[in-house]
């Protein structure tokens, strides 16, 4: 009986990755069909975010900075800003497909573009799967470990509230948007290990500098100084030594000096 249950557990664990890959493959096909109109826009946007050219980070930085400077100069209220953002998305959703059909009417879709488009849809499917797993793990923690769920949620939300109170909200939104748009290029260029190694080396150098400075301070405090040595080397006269008084007369009077 135990061997049968063990075999069933093994087969179930072996089937899970295959089911997951099949689901991702199915979701990739669905995305390819639903985003077929946008493929001529998504590919250049994906190339921009992945830094296909060396000047792409500067383009991303310039576009995002221009948008936020415009928002800063307009200084709209929160309700006006949200309404304008939703209006922009509605216009893009309605007008851009019409423009794409007119502009790319006789577009030659090659196999290279199709492979890039398939890889992009697969990444979107993987991202959706990660978000789904995160939500499922949060709900599982809420049911099984509610105290841990409460502590993590309270600390995370308190940290966000503290940052929103201390830092300007527009600046915080700008930095968040810029980071999100630069992460795909950083991952594509494999700069994350380089940045991690740089941070580790900087931290180790800082620790070595602080340890050496503390060692120098301890050594300097333990060694006597020249002034202390000179002070200790002075021979003080004993109380038994006699003092001689010398008298000298000058034309201005009598000067009395003592010699020890």
User: Which SS3 state, helix, strand or coil, does residue 231 take?
Assistant: helix
Q: Which residues does 57 contact at the CB level (< 8 Å), separation at least 6?
A: 51, 182, 185
- Stated as kind and residue range, the H or E segment containing 163 is helix 146-166
Give the C-alpha distances (Å, rounded to integers) separating 192 from 46, 49, 187: 19, 16, 6
8 Å CB contact between 64 and 178: yes
Cut 0.85: pTM above it: no
Q: Note the pLDDT of residue 10.
A: 42
Q: Across the 260 residues of the chain, what is the mean pLDDT of every consecutive 10-residue run?
A: 47 53 87 89 90 91 95 92 94 89 78 89 91 93 93 94 90 93 87 82 82 64 50 47 45 43
pLDDT value, residue 1: 46
pLDDT at 202: 83
Query: What is the rounded distance in angstroms from the CA atom of residue 149 to the CA atom of residue 96?
Result: 43
Model pLDDT, residue 233 = 45
* Domain range summary for the chain, segments of one domain joined by +: 21-81+109-207
């Amino acid at each position: 009986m135990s061997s049968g249950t063990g075999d069933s557990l093994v087969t179930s664990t072996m089937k899970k990755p295959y089911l997951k890959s099949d689901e991702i493959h199915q979701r990739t096909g669905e995305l390819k069909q639903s985003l077929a109109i946008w493929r001529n826009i998504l590919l250049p946007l994906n190339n921009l975010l992945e830094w296909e050219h060396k000047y792409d980070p500067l383009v991303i930085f310039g576009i995002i900075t221009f948008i936020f400077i415009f928002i800063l100069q307009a200084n709209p209220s929160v309700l006006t800003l949200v309404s304008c953002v939703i209006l922009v998305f509605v216009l893009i959703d309605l007008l851009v497909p019409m423009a794409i059909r007119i502009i790319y009417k006789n577009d030659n879709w090659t196999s290279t573009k199709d492979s890039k488009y398939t890889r992009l849809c697969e990444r979107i499917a993987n991202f959706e799967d990660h978000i789904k797993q995160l939500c499922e793990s949060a709900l599982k923690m809420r049911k099984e470990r509610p105290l841990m769920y409460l502590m993590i949620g309270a600390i995370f939300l308190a940290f966000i509230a503290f940052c929103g109170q201390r830092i300007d909200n527009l600046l915080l939104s700008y930095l968040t948007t810029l980071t999100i748009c630069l992460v795909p290029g950083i991952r594509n260029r494999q700069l994350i290990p380089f940045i991690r190694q740089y941070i580790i080396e900087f931290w180790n150098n800082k620790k070595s500098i602080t340890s050496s400075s503390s060692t120098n301070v301890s050594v300097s405090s333990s060694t006597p100084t020249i002034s202390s040595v000179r002070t200790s080397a002075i021979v003080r006269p004993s109380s038994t030594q006699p003092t001689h008084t010398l008298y000298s007369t000058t034309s201005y009077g009598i000067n009395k000096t003592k010699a020890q």
